[in-house]
């Protein structure tokens, strides 16, 4: 039995558009519901095309992954009709517009020494720097103490995706495993849109699918997030209950890097971190 080829950029675009269309009901956009039974949830293609102001056949071809060009104005109209947020709109552009500049795999990687030094300097605030494929480029001492280290993994497996979906045994998963895992997958979706079809990315996805049904389900949901911020409570086995504000940023000129920093949200957490 042959192995199916990895999805192309057009395949990913098709699946993404279908998933976003399926989550919108006629009542969501002020369309009458004629009461007829729908074969799939959400809007029909012709309804979406009307909302976006494009031809039904043209939109059908786009969703089917055919080789057609879409102008920025048309992509914006589709994004509005699908109610895409900023991260989803960026994903639509990355998947639909082949001419968008993509990272060149033959170029020399940018030096990350300054960012790695910044991660270290943020101690005692936990911080880490992720590279392409969620590889852990740096994590400071506080980050290792609070979030766990990666030194037990071989260098090729030191990534957030590998740690979360392959390395963690079910009985060892932290309380926030599911919510954090969904967030990791949604952010990787945004990154993958710029690299769909590249062997290194497709090989990792195939490996994660093989090991983790949760990854498979969340990946197939096509949810997208570009960055995150918020609050988090960590129940640490030795440090106790820790409360944080956290934020993830994208360094200028490095769209595949993510710098994440945790700051104490209360005095008790600040005191605990200061003692690390």
| CATH number of the domain where residue 23 is located | 1.10.260.40
Tell whether 52 and 180 lie within a shared domain: no
Average of pLDDT values for 77-102?
Answer: 77
Quick one: DSSP state of residue 264?
A: E
Q: Average pLDDT for residues 100-124, to the nearest whole number? A: 68
What number of CA atoms fall less than 13 Å from residue 237's CA on the CB side? 6
Q: Quick check: is 89 in a domain? A: yes
69, 96, 123: which is the final residue of a domain?
A: 96
Percent of the chain at pLDDT exceeding 90: 37
63 and 121, same domain (yes or no) = no
Are residues 136 and 75 part of one domain? no
Res. 35 pLDDT band, cuts 50 70 90: low
Pairing of strands 127-130, 258-264: antiparallel
Residue 198 and residue 141 in one domain: yes
Residues 121 and 69 in one domain: no
Whether residue 102 is contained in a domain is answered as no
| Domain boundary residue, one of 96, 127, 161 | 96
- Whether residue 159 is found in the same domain as residue 79: no
List, in order, residues 6 or more apart from 140 with CB less than 8 Å away.
Answer: 119, 120, 122, 123, 126, 127, 128
Within this chain, do residues 149 and 206 fall inside the same structural domain, yes or no? yes
Q: Please tell me the predicted confidence (pLDDT) of residue 56.
A: 83
Question: Which pLDDT score is estimated for 269?
Answer: 96
Q: Which of 19-23, 53-57, 97-101, 192-196 has the lowest mean pLDDT?
A: 97-101
Encode 104-138: b = buried (16+ Cβ within 10 Å), e = exposed: eeeeeeeebeebeebbeebebbbbbbbbbbbbbbb
Domain membership of residue 137 (yes or no) is yes
* Boundary of a domain, candidates 34, 68, 96: 96
240 shares a domain with 134: yes
- 3 belongs to a structural domain: no
Within this chain, do residues 79 and 127 fall inside the same structural domain, yes or no?
no
Tens of pLDDT, residues 235-257: 998 999 999 999 998 887 777 78
In the chain, the number of structural domains is 2
Asked if the model's pLDDT at residue 7 lies above 80, the reply is no
Q: What is the mean pLDDT of residues 49-61?
A: 83
Q: What is the per-residue pLDDT across 114-148, written as a single tens digit (0 to 9) for each?
A: 888 999 999 999 999 998 999 999 999 999 999 98
Asked if residue 54 lies in contact with residue 36, where contact means CB atoms within 8 angstroms, the answer is no
Q: What is the pTM of this model?
A: 0.73
Inter-residue contact 9 to 92 (CB < 8 Å): no
Encode pLDDT of 202-232 as tens digits: 999 999 999 999 999 999 999 998 777 889 9
11 pLDDT more than 80:
yes
Q: Indicate whether 101 belongs to any domain.
A: no
Residues 62 and 186 in one domain: no
Cα 40 from Cα 171, distance rounded (Å):
37
> In the predicted model, what is the mean pLDDT of residues 41-68?
83
Give the tens place of pLDDT for each residue, 156-183: 899 999 999 999 888 888 888 998 999 9
Please indicate, yes or no, whether residues 59 and 192 belong to a single structural domain of this protein.
Answer: no
User: Domain span at residue 247?
Assistant: 113-274
For residue 105, being part of any structural domain is answered with no
SS3 236: strand
Residue 105: what pLDDT? 45
**Same domain as 14, residue 88:** yes
């Amino acid at each position: 039995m042959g192995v199916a080829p990895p999805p192309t950029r057009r395949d990913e675009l098709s699946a993404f558009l279908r998933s976003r269309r399926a989550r919108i009901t006629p009542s969501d956009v002020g369309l009458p519901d004629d009461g007829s039974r729908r074969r799939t949830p959400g809007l029909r293609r012709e309804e979406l095309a009307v909302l976006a102001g494009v031809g039904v056949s043209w939109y059908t071809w786009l969703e089917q992954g055919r080789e057609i060009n879409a102008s920025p104005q048309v992509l914006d109209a589709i994004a509005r009709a699908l109610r895409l947020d900023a991260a989803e709109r960026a994903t639509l552009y990355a998947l639909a517009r082949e001419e968008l500049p993509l990272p060149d795999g033959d170029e020399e990687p940018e030096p990350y020494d300054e960012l790695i030094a910044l991660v270290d300097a943020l101690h005692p605030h936990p911080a880490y720097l992720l590279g392409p494929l969620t590889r852990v480029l740096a994590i400071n001492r506080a980050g290792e103490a609070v979030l766990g280290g990666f030194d037990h993994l071989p260098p090729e497996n030191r990534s957030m995706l590998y740690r979360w979906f392959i390395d963690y045994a079910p009985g060892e998963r932290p309380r926030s495993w599911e919510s954090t895992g969904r967030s990791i997958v949604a952010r990787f979706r945004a990154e993958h849109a710029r690299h769909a079809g590249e062997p290194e990315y497709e090989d990792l996805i195939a490996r994660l699918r093989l090991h983790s049904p949760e990854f498979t389900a969340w990946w197939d949901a096509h949810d997208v997030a570009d960055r995150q911020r918020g609050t988090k409570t960590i129940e640490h086995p030795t440090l106790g209950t820790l409360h944080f504000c956290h934020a993830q940023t994208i360094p200028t000129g490095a769209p595949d890097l993510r710098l994440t920093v945790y700051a104490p949200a209360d005095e008790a957490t600040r005191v605990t971190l200061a003692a690390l």
